[in-house]
Amino acid sequence: MFMVETTDGLYNAARFKPAIQSSIFYPYYAYLGVDGNYSSDGLEGHCQQTQKEWNPWWMVDLCGQFIIEKIQLTN
């Protein structure tokens, strides 16, 4: 389960942007990784998760060009 998070003073360019993943472990859809909730507790319903598979992936479309200073994932 992953979420994109920001730290003090940085803009979260991924928040509410389109996200996709290699598969869906219902009900943990890709968009839950960019919903703005930083809890890593999957039972709260704010995390994304794929099926058990080889080479799972998750992607967010930032819908523009950004200078990326930091990427932080919560697992």
Amino acid at 33: G
Burial call 6-21: b when 16+ CB within 10 Å, e when fewer: eeeeeeebbeebebeb
Question: How confident is the model over 24-71, as pLDDT tens digits?
Answer: 999 899 999 998 887 777 778 788 889 999 999 999 999 999 888 888
Structure tokens at 41: 């507790």
> What are the backbone angles phi and psi of residue 20, rounded to the nearest 5°?
-135, 160
Residue 22 vs residue 69, higher pLDDT: 22
pTM of the model: 0.76
Give the integer Cα–Cα distance in Å for 43 and 64: 32
State residue 1's pLDDT score. Answer: 45
